[in-house]
Structure 1
Amino acid sequence: MAEISRRGLFQLSGMAAAGAMLTGCGDGAGSGKSAGGGAKSIKWWDHFNPLKELQAETFAAVQKDAGISVQYTLHQTAKMGEALQLARQSNQLPDVHSNVGLKLPIPALIADGWYQPLQLSPEAEAKIDKSTLIEGVTSIDGKLYSFPIFNARQYWAAIWFNKELVEKAGLDPANPPQTYDEFRAAAKTAQEKAGDAHGWINNLGQPDRIAEQTHFMAQAAGFGGNLGQDFKTGEYVFHSDPYVGVIEFMLSLQKDRLLMPGTNNMNDKVARARWATGAAVYYMDGPWCAGVVKQDMAKFSDKLDVGPMLVPDKGMPVTAYRGPQGGAFWVSGKSGRADLASKVLERLLTPEYAAGLAARMDQPPADLSVLEKADVHPAYKKLIDRFQDECFVAPIPVAKNPEVSKVQRETKDVKPGLGDIVQGAFSGDVADVRKALKELSDKSNKERDRAFAAAKTKGAKVEENDFMFANWKPRTDFTKAMYAG
């Protein structure tokens, strides 16, 4: 077989749409309310902390209407993947769970037996917007495995801030920083004039989360791709200027002593909680920040406000790309109660659940019209409105050719990953950021070469141009019609 060139390889936003990136980022910790076991009982795990009360209310309604009890456990985001792996090893997986932390595309997880198809009623299936269902993302071989409840237009690196401390420092909350230099200046002023607070706090102890934020910020800095891959060529180029610039900017905040000490060991739950106590002024997070604050830090709500994702230079529009939204919840392949689990999942397709989803302020709901009547924090509404102008639907290879899923099944994780490199740069273990990123690019391209060749050997009908999108244009949605181009 001829050697496969790296230039024709994968645009990993398809894996983002199908994998951990799209499971989102609530901030669970510990257990939620549980119902008793029995013949009509299922176990449900997820990590969406702002949805804790909504899930409990929904499960109570299911028990009342259908007699199905749900044993519900809420996990912390950073620990969910490990919990699922351990549960699988001990044959104790729940019947339904979210898939954050598993780090594999949905086709690979399905091939490994993690999930099984849904058993929805025809009435429930009719409620699903079919335009949101994508082979390799929510469906495999024409069988439905999940459905989106969240909206694709979002990014996870917004600048949330303590409005009270900003005002105390003499800054204007109505005009939050938009560029790297403006943020550095604002953080410095706030740190000097707002009492004992540090300028910035972040979750550097959570490599996956810091990687997500770096990916989004690289897009805002001009990177025309997703997860390190160029949309047009399929090449991994982690070492490109946008990525290097983002990391160097964040490191400069540490050098200027604007980053709160100790953040190298903090996950998002700890960092957000410390920020809400007034320990820092600015915090980077996704839209669910408002929901977590409402749920767990209600006294901080009046101080909460948000600004856009930062850009390097004045006048650059904020830009983010994400593939079509994937499913949030999946039926375990080990579950013997897929019929009951599917019946519970049908409740998520009701208007009542959509309205509750909006009110809890996690990721934006798939149907944004429900926000019009929802009682949401002004900062949350402000950010969701921004998303409509700043976020664009990215192309994904599986929508062009479903056979690409066979390549994704062959793909192995590359280490150290982006989050590990960023974390190492802050700790001093990574001295040359661009060199480390170049090594990541080379390893990633080599692994994709290998996976592509392995899939072809096993009969996958894929071509190099399945992973190239030469007709992609910046700041536009990649529509279904464009795949034909």
Structure 2
Amino acid sequence: MESVSRRTLLVGSGAFAAAGLLGACDTAADSGGGGAKSGARTLTWWDHSPNLKPINLKTFTEFEKRPDGAKVQYTLQQTSKMGQALQLAKQSHQLPDITTAAGLDGLPLSSLVEGGWFQPLQLESEALARLKPNLYDGFHRIDGKLYTFPLFHTRTHSTALWFNTELAEKAGLDPAAPPRTFDDFRAAARKMQDASGGGNGWICNLGMTPRLGAQVDDLAESCGFLGAGGQLFRTGEFAYHDPAFLTAIEFLQSMAKDKLMAPGSNTMDDKEARARFATGRIGYYLDGPWCAGVINETLKAFSPKLGGTGLLTPDAGTKPAVYVPPTNGMYHITATAKDAALASKLLSMATTEEYYVGIAKGMARPPLDLKAIDKAGVLPAYKAVVDSFQTEAFLAPSRLLKNPAVSAVQAKSKPITPGLGEIVQGVFSGDVTDLKAELIKLSDAANKQQDANIAAATKAGAKVSRDDFVFPDWTPHVDYGPEKYK
């Protein structure tokens, strides 16, 4: 099928149905996808997160029973196909009433609003009161109007350390005291491998380059990189060749050189790597908080053996840290939805304690209200990982909060190839022989693209400059909160 770019919509009202992208459709009353009863008010809802399906179906059932409610026709899309399905649906005037924005090329909310995708929410006053401290201009509000809201807590990352507690005990390690430094990790992985009976100390999803790039970025920040996404906060310059990135990549590479990495890691995605990890013969795996939820759902026999902790650091004297932006919104009401008030009533139910407990039960990204975790009966490993996030994830400076016009620059950004993930993958395959030189090329390309995008946005009328990307007052290990922009 022809791919869809961020600027091009596929044409043809018949293309949407023919594409077969509707996915598996469920309703609250009939999870087999029977559809709404004739004559009943119905809302259509598209999603890409299977972790949220149980709480969403429960919420839909409750909403249908309300006098002011309606039936909900629910479609769970494949994440990789969601963007194209939305593009085709928009072109053929078949958008759902409520949807996520997954796959829309990472466009900022302002661009999606300007492009006619979404309309403002009309949330109930109680819901707005609960959300107020976590709503940000540019991320959730455009021109004072609310278009979406966060479901998940800001403090999270994709590089928690998950491990096999049973194998750790067999290796003479204390599962209650997992390794926290690179050297301790290598030593523990060696002991795990020796005790595994033919297994390996560590497994990695090197074949999933976007995730690999994000994990290397997390590790670089934990190694002392003074920025995020390869961009230094205090200067606005991209610096992928910073020593922190070299340290992080060389650490991962050392696991392969020491023959502690599982064979096949070079081509594995997260699904394959996680399944191999859960066989019980692998010591460690780096992954996000969703690792616990996926294992508990699809690899349940391994759940009692799962251990978890936070981010590794290069040495005991380095405090772990990653820097994260405000959490984007999850759900939106499309511009073509005929009853935004009704859809808003349903979305208001996604701000309650019951809903947050439902999120926590899925053990993916932590819910906005962390107190819900204690009521959700989660695995101890998940609780340990989420607890670690609270001391090692910090709110990063945001160019968008400093100047909303930065969205015009963001809208012009395109992936640079090879990116960080591809470069690291090349290090492991042997295709990249001069790591620093490749990282310098990536830094140069990113800086040139940013300068070009600023110039293009300025020419088009946006009031934006490189100064909007510079935060000279930023301090490591401290939240850069909303008060900084006043």
Smaller-chain TM-score bracket: 0.7 to 0.9
1:140 to 127, 139, 142: 142
What do the CA deviations read for 1:109-138 (whole angstroms, capped 9, x no partner)? Answer: 515737313332443553342232112111
Give the superposition deviation at 1:483: 2.6
Change (3 A) 1:435 1:463: same
1:452 — aligned with what? 454
CA distance in 1, matches of 2:476, 2:406: 24
1:183 — aligned with what? 185
Range moving further from structure 2, 385-394 or 57-66: 57-66
Corresponding letter in the other structure for 1:162: N
- Structure 2: 5+ residue stretches without partners: 1-22
TM-score normalised according to structure 2 size: 0.86
2:425 — aligned with what? 423
Give the superposition deviation at 1:88: 5.8
What do the CA deviations read for 1:341-378 (whole angstroms, capped 9, x no partner)? Answer: 43332220222212222233221111122233332221
- Structure 2 residue 206 is matched with structure 1 residue 204: yes
CA distance in 1, matches of 2:98, 2:206: 30
- Structure 2 residue 51 is matched with structure 1 residue 54: no
- Structure 1: 5+ residue stretches without partners: 1-28
CA distance in 1, matches of 2:148, 2:413: 22
Aligned length: 456
SS in 2 for 1:318: coil
2:375 — aligned with what? 373
1:36 — aligned with what? 35
Change (3 A) 1:396 1:191: same
TM-score normalised according to structure 1 size: 0.86
SS in 2 for 1:277: coil
Give the superposition deviation at 1:94: 4.2
CA distance in 1, matches of 2:401, 2:468: 9
1:2-401 pair list within 5 angstroms? 33=31, 34=33, 36-37=35-36, 40-65=41-66, 66-75=68-77, 77=79, 80-81=82-83, 84=86, 93-107=95-109, 109-110=111-112, 113=115, 115-123=117-125, 125-333=127-335, 335=337, 338-401=340-403
CA distance in 1, matches of 2:130, 2:254: 46
What do the CA deviations read for 1:27-46 (whole angstroms, capped 9, x no partner)? Answer: xx977644514663344333
CA contact (8 A) 2:110 2:138 kept: no
CA contact (8 A) 2:206 2:269 kept: yes
CA distance in 1, matches of 2:339, 2:372: 32
Range moving further from structure 2, 268-277 or 212-221: 268-277
SS in 2 for 1:283: strand
Corresponding letter in the other structure for 2:356: A
CA distance in 2, matches of 1:269, 1:85: 27
Identity fraction in percent = 45
Change (3 A) 1:395 1:336: same
SS in 1 for 2:119: coil
Give the superposition deviation at 1:80: 4.7
2:9 — aligned with what? none
Give the superposition deviation at 1:407: 1.9
Change (3 A) 1:395 1:170: same
Change (3 A) 1:79 1:369: same
Corresponding letter in the other structure for 2:224: G
Give the superposition deviation at 1:335: 5.0
Higher relative contact order, structure no. (Cα contacts within 8 Å, ≥ 6 residues apart): 1
CA distance in 1, matches of 2:271, 2:81: 11
CA distance in 2, matches of 1:265, 1:81: 25
Give the superposition deviation at 1:278: 2.0
CA distance in 1, matches of 2:81, 2:276: 19
1:470 — aligned with what? 472
CA contact (8 A) 1:78 1:206 kept: no
CA distance in 1, matches of 2:50, 2:190: 32
Range moving further from structure 2, 460-469 or 392-401: 460-469
CA contact (8 A) 1:398 1:404 kept: yes
What do the CA deviations read for 1:196-225 (whole angstroms, capped 9, x no partner)? Answer: 322111222222111211111111010111
1:9 — aligned with what? none
